[in-house]
Amino acid sequence: MKEMDKYAFVRAMIIFCFLAFFLGNNLRIYLWIFIFSTFYLIAYRLIRFWTKRLLLYMFEFCYFGNGILIAFLLYYNNSMEIFSITFICNTGLMTSAVIAFNNQTPFNNTDHLTSSWIHTLPLITNWAIRWRHYIYSKDSLKNLNFNFINFQNVKFKYNDTFYGLIYYPIIFWCFWAIFYLIFMGLFLRSFSSNPKYSSGITDFKKYTKNMKIFGDTNNLTIFKYLLQHFFFLVVMFPLSILCFYNYYVNTFCVIFIIFFLAWNTARNNIKYMKKQENKKGNLLANEC
């Protein structure tokens, strides 16, 4: 694992610098870099999670959210139904996960960076696709080579587009919940209940064991976990729908998440440095 992290900083700098540059200059190149980088990071994470007994995390909703975005980019460019799913899920629920899971971006830590990528880059990518006519020049969009829906004339109305933003993501989430229930509660039950293997369920039990609202988290754990998950999905619906219809709200949301990652990274680094200083201070005091 140390060898895998040896070039984490260089790898992260190359990927993020290329993404940032082409996000501001060429949407087509940005999207292809995003697609290939996502495949690379997911494959990389599979290897790391296998060796660290964290593979059960790969069943979490965030990976399915990334998967539906990749499917949209590669195969369903012109599907409003698929875009409704990827925009609402990646803008709402995935955005809340950045804060809930305390994501940060230390460039020398592969696991933290990958977690931040999974929860943040889909938000930015959906923003760039949805508001591309606001962000890029007409000339640059002529050679896009992605048959995206024309969102220029999409206005807020109680029509099929609006209702699709609600029920398509819920249907997609329900399919994931059934899949999760079957695999984690049936086929992989011996692993998901074993503390040796970490997962979203073990995290849920750890952080909510003293919350009265959930009762005994050892009983009906998966159902309670899915109920909490669905609660965040529903709570974030107003924000994600507002982001879909308002460029400025969506842009503010993207900027806020980027600043949160930077602030959280700095805060945790300061805490780490203080701990190291305290350890050195204690060692010197003991020597004296």
Decide if pLDDT at 67 tops 90.
Answer: yes
Question: Of the given ranges (109-113, 153-157, 163-167, 232-236), which has the lowest mean pLDDT?
Answer: 109-113
Query: What DSSP line would sit under 9-21, residue for residue?
Result: HHHHHHHHHHHHH
Mean pLDDT value across residues 251-257? 94
Q: What is the pLDDT of residues 186-210, one digit of tens each?
A: 888 888 777 788 888 888 888 887 7
d(CA 150, CA 130): 9
Per the structure, the count of domains in the chain is: 1
Contact 261, 103 (CB under 8 A): yes
pLDDT of residue 248: 95
d(CA 254, CA 27): 17
What domain range is 107 assigned to? 2-287
Which helix (H) or strand (E) segment holds residue 166: the answer is: helix 160-182
pLDDT of residue 278: 75
251 confidence band (pLDDT: 50, 70, 90): very high
Mean pLDDT value across residues 157-162? 91
Mapped onto helix, strand or coil, the DSSP state of residue 154 is coil
